[in-house]
Amino acid sequence: MNKTTQPIFVFLISALLLTSCRFELPKPIGDLLNSTKVEIPEVIQQVVEEPSQQIIESPQIVTLTDPQALQNAYNSIFDQVSPSVVHIQVTSKGQTLQQQFPDLPFSMPDSGQPELRQVQSSGSGFIWNEQGMIITNNHVIDGAENILVEFSDGLRVEAKTIGTDPASDLAVIQVDVNKSYLRPVTLTDSTQVRTGDIAIAIGNPFGLQSTMTVGIVSALGRSLPLEAQSSDGAVYSIPDVIQTDAPINPGNSGGVLVNLGGQVMGVTSAIESTSGANAGIGFVIPSIIVNKVVPSLISTGSYDHPWIGISGGTLRSEIAAEMDLPTTQRGALVNEVIKDSPADLAGLVGSDKTIKINQSEVNIGGDIIVAIDDTQVNDFEDLVAYLARYTDVGQTVKLTVLRDGKEKSIDLTLASRGQHTQLAGTPWIGVQIMDLNPDLAKAAGVDKDLKGVLIVQITSDSPAEEAGLQGSYKAVEIGGKSYVVGGDILTAIDKKKVETAQEVTELISKLQVGDEITLTLLRDGEEIKLPLTVGAKP
């Protein structure tokens, strides 16, 4: 998607290739980890039991006067925090022989048709309270048949799932152990974190337990897409995300990013990488969202996200000029208002015209949200972050909008995103896909210049399986990395050509559950057309 095109940050998110920090282990490595022994230091700090009171607004930070003081600070932080961080091993079923390749969102067989085998994957978590609640990422335990938690002294116990929230990529599991093992972390207020702050990640990268890495907070206010490379339809994002250059790798997911006082700024969740390993850009779910979501996961097993019901993007200077506004005007431009949503009921107006800027189509003419509850909105991310930080379902907020150049105040009562999704259904076809590049095309035995999207995996009992699509099964090595080919290559949807996974995602997201579409595929060198009925995402 061209950067000028308006991204849809609440419902449709421009794709960002993120490598999951859940790391799958071949069995020998898993066995090796079982022998890891680390002594637990004495309890350093007592933390209140009430989750909503775990944030410390003004943490005491170590004052550094010389290199030795910095080293002592790092030593102290590790001693304080590492006993609170656990290693999580998950057993699930997937297509694998022994190894998971981080470039692809699935496990890969060596040869022949794929079959379901047990997969062992590894992640991190941290102790929330003395009742045995442990926080991790949802993607770490998603699909788990068995969850094993290993403490820093080697004690291993089974855990049960208490609550999950895919929309914030957070989950709560629980263990039953002696309270001497339960040393809750302390959170700091992530809204007070600044770019340049020292950031320390503690987790289990590649299954290597109790690993500590150091960097800085390299950016704030990022938006982390969920399932960005899937064709599952509408995609949400986690707002207000912290970016860090502290090395984060597969297996760090669910671990912590702490400050020099040892307080948790957020939960390490994902990396941006072309290789699947650390490239200096890691993403961390901020503590303010963690502290808002986790108590609900513990009490009800889920979290209800507030919802406005719009898609849109940031008002850029060139768009403002096209709308006869000063080029210095900023805000969140409303592209589309979802029917019967809170925005629709409140009377918000979406864009009514499309123009071309730098050869890209851009929506203009809709309301521009410049404030929410008198808090200034400079871009779309400001709006989404405010909703995630400070609002709840059923709450009424005041939006200040510019309409036809004039300021207008609108009261809007937030609804539940989950209820909307449940009622409307998220369009879904049930495939995992990836862009076809010349090397993959050559390995698949097709023209290296062929444009299309490789079907990698088909979800059981999905519309794709019912329609007869075929996934990949043949392992190949390209540039020292392993991939699978052999599946259908999708070249068009309803005669509209597709060349990237993002294009497929966008087209599917615009459909309705029950729509009939025709897929144009290349299979065994021949073009075929298959009808498919769009389903609702489970």
In a domain, 254, yes or no: yes
pLDDT given for residue 356 in this prediction? 82
* Residues 175 and 223 placed together within one structural domain of the fold: yes
Annotated active-site residue 382? The verdict is no
> In whole angstroms, how far apart are CA 385 and each of 66, 77, 250, 370, 372?
38, 30, 27, 14, 11
Contacts of 66 (CB under 8 A, 6+ apart): none
Q: Which amino acid is it at 197?
A: D
Does position 91 have pLDDT exceeding 90, yes or no?
Answer: no
- pLDDT for residue 217: 94
pLDDT for residue 11 is more than 90: no
pLDDT digits (tens, 9 = 90+) for 219-263: 998 888 764 333 333 446 788 899 999 888 888 899 999 999 999
> Does the annotation mark 139 as catalytic?
yes
Residue type, 196: G
Q: Measuring CA to CA, how many Å separate 478 from each of 82, 335, 444?
A: 38, 41, 12
Q: Which of 363, 391, 423 is the last residue of a domain?
A: 423
Instruction: Determine the pLDDT at residue 375.
Output: 96
Q: Confirm whether 240 is domain-assigned.
A: yes
- Whether 353 and 405 share a structural domain: yes
Nearest to 245 by CA among 264, 208, 219, 273: 219
Q: Which of 139, 197, 341, 509 is catalytic?
A: 139
| Residue where the block lists tokens 């040892």 | 262
pLDDT tens readout for residues 431-470: 989 888 888 888 888 988 898 999 988 988 889 999 999 9
Q: Quick check: 195 and 218 in contact, CB under 8 A? A: yes
Q: What is the pTM of this model?
A: 0.66
φ/ψ region of 411 (left if φ > 0, alpha if ψ in -120 to 50, else beta) reads beta
> With pLDDT > 90 as the criterion, what percentage of the chain qualifies?
48
CATH code (residue 276): 2.40.10.120
Q: Are residues 404 and 449 in the same domain?
A: no
Is pLDDT larger for residue 113 or for residue 363? Answer: 363
Residue 18 confidence (pLDDT): 39
Q: How far apart are CA 228 and CA 14, in angstroms?
A: 8
Share of the chain above pLDDT 70, in %: 78
CA pair distance 478, 458, nearest whole angstrom: 23
Query: Can you point out the beta strands (E) in 189-316?
Result: 198-203, 211-225, 237-244, 256-258, 264-272, 282-286, 306-307, 310-314
CATH number of the domain that 484 lies in?
Answer: 2.30.42.10
Catalytic hit among 84, 121, 253, 462: 253
What's the pLDDT at 268?
Answer: 93
pLDDT at 8: 36
Q: For residue 525, give its domain range.
A: 427-536
Do residues 287 and 327 share a domain? no
Of 261, 284, 300, the residue that ends a domain is 300
Give yes or no: residues 284 and 219 share one domain: yes
Residue 302's pLDDT band, with cuts at 50, 70 and 90, is very high
The Cα angle at residue 434 between residues 433 and 440, in degrees rounded to 5: 125
Is residue 320 helix, strand or coil? Answer: helix
Q: What is the model's pLDDT at position 118?
A: 64
pLDDT at 277: 54
Q: Are residues 415 and 438 in the same domain?
A: no
For residue range 328-375, what is the model confidence (pLDDT) as tens digits? 999 999 998 988 899 999 999 999 888 888 777 788 889 999 999 999
What mean pLDDT do residues 316-329 have?
A: 92
- Considering the domain boundaries, does residue 11 fall inside one? no
Is 331 within a domain?
Answer: yes
Q: Is residue 3 part of a domain?
A: no
Task: Note the pLDDT tens digit of each residue in 506-515.
Answer: 888 778 788 8
Q: How many domains does the chain have?
A: 3
Highest mean pLDDT (candidates 85-94, 217-226, 288-297): 288-297
* Domain shared by 343 and 435, yes or no: no
Q: Indicate the residue among 369, 404, 423 that finishes a domain.
A: 423
Same domain assignment for residues 249 and 386: no
pLDDT in tens, 13-66: 233 333 345 555 444 333 333 333 333 333 333 333 344 445 544 444 555 567
H or E stretch at 322:
helix 317-322
Query: Is residue 185 one of the residues assigned to a domain?
Result: yes
pLDDT per position as a tens digit, 377-411:
999 999 999 999 999 999 999 999 999 989 999 99
- The Cα 69–Cα 75 span in angstroms is 10
* 78/223 same-domain check: yes
d(CA 252, CA 208): 9
User: Does residue 521 lie within any of the structural domains?
Assistant: yes
Are the CB atoms for 373 and 386 separated by under 8 Å?
Answer: yes
Catalytic residue among 169, 232, 367, 382: 169
For residues 417 and 295, membership in a common domain is answered with no
Q: Round to whole Å and give the CA distance between 484 and 473.
A: 6
Is the domain of 417 the same as that of 470? no
Residue 252 inside a domain? The answer is: yes
DSSP type of residue 465: H
Note the pLDDT of residue 250: 83
- Could you tell me if 341 and 415 are in contact, meaning their C-beta atoms sit under 8 angstroms apart? yes
Is 223 annotated in the active site? no
Residue 271's pLDDT is what? 73
Residues 454 and 400 in one domain: no
Tell me the average pLDDT across 110-119: 51
Q: Residues 191, 288: contact at Cβ < 8 Å? A: yes
Predicted local confidence at residue 97, as pLDDT: 35
